[in-house]
Amino acid sequence: MNQQEKIEALALLFDEEVSSITPETKLDNLIFDSVAKMALVALISERYDRSVHMSEFKALKSIQDIMNLMHE
């Protein structure tokens, strides 16, 4: 998954327009509630076969931080 595909997946997850999501987008500007967090865990688990630890969630501040978790 390249950067644009990650942005598109995250825009869908956050129910935002792709054009409004950039790596610099702060999660404080999005609805990053428990439902979004569960969807993110599912996305990363299914696509990248890895789990996300609570300490990683606490460190998330931006879309780039999430994209850093999305590695193969």
> What is the average pLDDT across 2-27?
95
Q: What is the pTM of this model?
A: 0.88
Give the domain extent around 49: 3-69
Q: How confident is the model at residue 71 (pLDDT cuts 50, 70, 90)?
A: confident
Which structure tokens are listed for 28? 């404080």
Q: Which of 21-25, 41-45, 60-64 is predicted with the least confidence, judged by mean pLDDT?
A: 41-45
- Per DSSP, helices labelled H in 1-72 are 3-13, 34-48, 54-59, 63-69
Q: What is the CATH number of the domain that holds 27?
A: 1.10.1200.10
Query: Which percentage of the chain shows pLDDT scores above 90?
Result: 74
Q: How confident is the model at residue 16 (pLDDT cuts 50, 70, 90)?
A: very high
Residue 64's alpha-carbon distances to 24, 58, 72, in angstroms, are: 6, 14, 16
Of 49, 54, 19, 20, nearest to 37 by C-alpha is: 54
> What is the average pLDDT across 14-28?
96
Of 27, 31, 68, nearest to 48 by C-alpha is: 68
Number of domains in the chain: 1
